[in-house]
Structure 1
Amino acid sequence: MQATKKASRTGLSQKRRQMRMRLWPLIEDEHLWLRTKSVGFTTIPRTLPIVNRILDIQAGKGFPVSATYLALWCHVFDEGFIEVRNSRELAYESGFGGPRAEATWKTRMKKLESLGVIQSKPGVHGDYQYILMLNPYQVIEKLYENKPKDFAFQALLSRMLHVGADDIVF
């Protein structure tokens, strides 16, 4: 099954490349930011915009967490683990500035932890030095366990089907 998925992805990749070449024939690869040829990339869920929307809704008015969650995804590696050595920098990347930047960032981290998408452990660099990124699909499924499935949840399921994610049993 895994070989079939990889072959399918390779075929689709070639088709997308051919289409791109037809639409933009004068643009060379060196003018594009290609993951396989550049460094500084990470793997994120293709559904992240919808996941972020759901997390913002679940966090409640006045506590948007999506920018903080995105910043965490930009720091995570394949082990699902982040070591935060500079919380001020991560606060800035999350969209917070000024004298209350770190305090605001910490409230968003606390909210993300209460929603269940992260777990944290303190260290010498602060309360959130070690972050574990949990599977957002499983967390969202649990958040909606005893609630009506709203438009955002249905949008997530639809996008998951489209990208082939099977972390939630439909």
Structure 2
Amino acid sequence: MMNVKQKAAKTSKVKKQKLVLREQLFGDIDEGLLWDRTKQTGFTTIPRTFPILAQIMDEVADKGKPVSGAYFALWCRVFDESLVEIKNPGQLAAESGFSGQRAISTWNGRMAKLVELGFIDAQEGALGDYEYILIYNPYLIIKKLYDDKKVNKVKYLSLFARAQEIGATDLG
């Protein structure tokens, strides 16, 4: 296990390598045209495994009713407290990809499924059933679903391998 100083040195070395490669491939780039999470605001931390997490979520949800769009919209609003306060369900429905007269009811259905699967918990408020959302660690939920034989083994092993590759230890 690396200590903080070793991890920072490795990160710095990798960053330098990527910058050299980027310059070789793309030449001299105007840094102002690039997104730098250390200089810009309005960003969130997303697991590097999110594409695989989303595939698994959609696979364990009801066929034809994917939940990953609603989950991602929540994730983009969460801070380190794992709590999201929803003040405008219509806006969350739209951010989740739903439109039209049934947007909010469709979004409510996806939220109910996320609760049922264990990815989130919800408390109602004056604005509806999903005003307060608690987001759980998706790795732990998928591990439980896998142990309960609800997750495809190939997808789980793909997630596990990628998690190991990036140093995430949540799956064991």
Q: Which residue type is aligned with residue 91 of structure 2?
A: E
Name structure 1 gaps, 5 residues minimum: none
Question: Per-residue CA shift, 1:14-72, capped at 9, x if unaligned?
Answer: 21122112211232110111111111110011101100100001002021001111111
- In structure 1, give the amino acid aligned to 2:158: A
1:161 corresponds to which of 157, 164, 171? 164
Q: With structure 2 as the length reference, what TM-score do the two structures score?
A: 0.93
Give the distance between the partners of 2:69 and 2:81, measured in 1 at CA.
Answer: 21
- Corresponding residue of 2:131: 129
Amino acid in the other structure paired with 1:158: A
Residues 168 and 11 of structure 1: CA distance in aligned 2, closer, same or farther (over 3 Å): same
- Matched with 2:110 is 108
User: What CA distance in whole angstroms lies between the structure 2 residues aligned with 1:67 and 1:149?
Assistant: 20
Long gaps (5+) in structure 2: none
Q: 1:149 to 1:105 in 2, by over 3 A?
A: closer
Letter paired with 2:160: L
Seen in structure 2, the aligned counterparts of structure 1 residues 59 and 149 have a Cα distance that, compared at 3 Å, is closer
Aligned to 2:101, what secondary structure does the other structure show? Answer: coil
Q: Which deviates more from structure 2 when the two are superposed, residues 98-107 or residues 145-154?
A: 145-154
Aligned to 2:142: 140
Letter in 2 for 1:29: E
Taking structure 1 as the reference length, the TM-score comes to: 0.94
In structure 2, distance between residues paired with 1:66 and 1:80:
17
Deviation at 1:6, TM superposition (A): 2.7
Separation (CA, whole Å) in 2 of partners of 1:29 and 1:139: 39
Q: Which moved more, 1:105-114 or 1:31-40?
A: 31-40
User: How far, CA to CA, are the matches of 1:16 and 1:149 in structure 2?
Assistant: 34
Q: Paired residue for 1:26, among 25, 28, 53?
A: 28
In structure 1, the residue matched to 2:153 is: 150
How many residues get paired?
A: 169
Q: Deviations over 1:120-156 (max 9, x none)?
A: 1111222111111100001000001132752110110
- Secondary structure of the residue that 1:144 maps to in structure 2? helix
The CA RMSD measured in Å over matched residues stands at 1.3
Q: Percent identity?
A: 46
Aligned pairs for 1:81-100 (under 5 A) are 81-100=83-102
